Structure formats: C-alpha cells, structure tokens
A and B are shown apart, each in its own frame.
Chain A
Amino acid sequence: QKEVEQDPGPLSVPEGAIVSLNCTYSNSAFQYFMWYRQYSRKGPELLMYTYSSGNKEDGRFTAQVDKSSKYISLFIRDSQPSDSATYLCAMSGYNQGGKLIFGQGTELSVKP
C-alpha cells in the first residue's frame, strides 16, 4: 500500500465550479499537510500548509484535514482557467524525521 494515494485524474470542470481534490494516507503519524500547485513546465509551488486537523482558508482555497479518516482535501471555489495545473499533496511527521511524502498529483483543467 502506498503511503499517500491521490487520484491522478485528469479532472475537467467548467469555470466557476467548486473543485474538490483529495488524498488519503496510511501513516497516522503525519502531522503536517501541504498542497503544491504545479503549472505545466514549471516546478511545484507551495499553495497551502496546515498542521494537524482542521480547516485553513486562503482566498478561494480551503484546505481540510481529517486525521481520524486519514483524508485531506483541497477545495477551490469559483474555479478559474488559471487554476488549471497539477495539484500535489504532501505530508510529513515526526517519525518521518520531517521527510516529505508526496502524492502523485491530480491534473486539473478548468474550461472557460
């Protein structure tokens, strides 16, 4: 079983839609959860960062962590064509010594 599972997509939505991106994980020791956004021909950039459980909001983006279900989500409200990218989840914990474990990424396309 992979430590982090992420549906690779591709996911295609119309402009203005609410997008839900998800990852599941198996290691209950993960404490830090991140979402990276990667545009075509670019490196990943840190988009959202959360510690432990709960929600974090930044503009149109909301990151949600449910440690009891080992499930994290990224919601994008009022999606725009400029949101078209690959979204990678990543996580780490004390027993990993801080090493980041990445999901394989979900490719998102927002159509105008």
Chain B
Amino acid sequence: ETGVTQTPRHLVMGMTNKKSLKCEQHLGHNAMYWYKQSAKKPLELMFVYSLEERVENNSVPSRFSPECPNSSHLFLHLHTLQPEDSALYLCASSQAYRSTNEKLFFGSGTQLSVL
C-alpha cells in the first residue's frame, strides 16, 4: 500500500443515516486533513490534525465529526446530513503541519450523495 487511501469511494446516504469515511496514509506524515470539494468551487479545508491533535476546525457544522486515533488514520463521522453536503470529500496528509512549504498528498476521495 502506498500513498493515501480512502474508503469508501462512493457513498449514498439518507438524511437520517450515520456513516463514516475512512482515510489511511502510508507516508509517515504527521499532519492529516479533510477537505470538501464541490463543483466549480475551491477546495474547502474542514479539519486538520497534527500528531493526532485537532489543530483546525474551520466553522464546520457539528453533523461532521472527525476522529484521528493515530497518525496514520483519520475518520470523518457523518450524521443527519443535508443534501447540500453532497460533494467529494478528500483526505490529505503532509510531512508537518503549517510548514511554510507544505506539500499535500491527497487520497482519491469519497463521492458522497445525500438524498
């Protein structure tokens, strides 16, 4: 396994469901990120973890709940989502948090549809 792996690749859920997105990085990085990508919009940074500690939460609704049990794994728990939450959710990692030449390595994303 190399790089950043995300599961599932696709997810369809109703507004009352609870589901989780999983991310695993095999790069030995210390920082992990969740981004939301909607059509024709810039990537939106949601959460950042550095050394398993949450260091950024960018005004994300509480129906999104991140978890980082160790430096290689990151989860995004979803509950009572809204249709406007439908998007591609990308996990990324970097060597260190907020190094001035931060380079992100992304997973393939989870395409989420909320019905």
Contacts and interface: CB of A to CB of B under 8 A. Distances in A.
Interface of A: 2, 4, 8, 31-32, 34, 36, 41-46, 49, 51, 88, 92-94, 97-105
B102 A100 contact: yes
Contact of B101 (A43, A45, A98): A98
Contacts, number: 62
Contacts of B42: 2, 4, 88, 101-105
Nearest to B99: A98
Contacts of B9: 41
A8 B109 contact: no
Interface residues of B, number: 24
Contacts of B41: 104
B103 A43 contact: no
Contact of B98 (A4, A36, A98, A105): A98
B111 interface: yes
Contacts of A44: 43, 90, 104, 106
7 contacts: A31-B100, A32-B100, A43-B107, A92-B101, A98-B98, A100-B102, A103-B42
A102 B43 contact: yes
B103 A34 contact: yes
Contacts of A34: 103
A102 B6 CA distance: 21
A52 B88 CA distance: 31
Interface string B4-25: 1010010000000000000000
Contacts of A102: 42-43
